[in-house]
Structure 1
């Protein structure tokens, strides 16, 4: 086939030709079944309900991590990075360091020789080791 300018045109394929829409017959609604009305309780009497006992829904955890019993005591939740527990501790905190978050500074028996001001006043401890065998045991 060609158009008026003499340029050949392709005839539409069978899949591109418009299809006749099927005329559907009106859908008949099924006749309503006659069922006897359910008996209703008198307005003055309560209706009894079945009590179903079920376990409370578990709290979903990320990646389905399990929760196990522990001897740790939860003091409060921390909600900054998820609902993480804050555990109680017997660590004696002297004050906190706010430069890199609210980090506790604990009191200890560490003998400090000097401090480095470049590294945020971090302590430099002595190289004398009290119990070398105990220290090497941590490396195993």
Structure 2
């Protein structure tokens, strides 16, 4: 009478892995069949739902009324850009980095730094902060 082995055959490497397992020091060993599930809430559960305009600006930036008077547009990288009128007096232009205007300014300049490319330094004590912001633009 012969006895057949009904257990699945194991290779030497599988039996070596089983014999080299370390004890878990009182913890239950992790089983391979462990499944983790994430809870996903339904969109109908409540809360605030925002509608996005299909013709909005990039980044969903807001559009608001302005005092600017647009006299034309030009096409550039990124779309159509407006040309507006303003009250800036132009004294000359600089063509080093494109045709850029040099505006006439009534800002009181205290000194010039030659180290920073002859950039003007204005006093911190100014009467009209709008004049300084116009100068910086």
Structure 1 and Structure 2 fold alike (TM over 0.5): no
- TM, length-normalised to structure 1: 0.38
Which structure's CA Rg is the greater one?
Answer: 1
Higher RCO (C-alpha 8 Å, min separation 6): 2
- TM, length-normalised to structure 2: 0.39
